[in-house]
Amino acid sequence: MPKIFIRVTGSLIACSQGVRDDWRDLTVWLGSKMTALYGDQVVVKYYDIFDPDCPSLPPDAKLPVVKINEEVLSMGGKLSMTLIRKKIESLGITTNQF
């Protein structure tokens, strides 16, 4: 069965406490949840907008950009695990049965 690739593109966030890497941290958390649910059927990767291998973004992109395979699922706002799961399952991927 083919794998589903979730690509999250974000950037560092400057705030009064300094610079934070929240989108990367949230993507790592999302990856652990996806692995628990779908095993190796789903691969999650984070890209900073300045990474040389950063995937192309739409001209009107608002960070974070979430792509499932090469299709933009969401831009801006939150990382929605519910939206991501609905899309993954619409592609025929099912949760691990323990």
Which domains occur in the chain, in start order?
4-90 (3.40.30.30)
pLDDT at residue 15, rounded to an integer: 82
Per-10-residue mean pLDDT of the chain, 98 residues long, equals 89 86 95 95 96 93 96 95 95 80
pLDDT of residue 13: 85
Are the C-beta atoms of residues 14 and 54 closer than 8 Å to each other?
A: no
Task: Look up residue 62 and give its two tokens.
Answer: 């608002």
Q: What is the pTM of this model?
A: 0.91
3-state secondary structure at position 83: helix
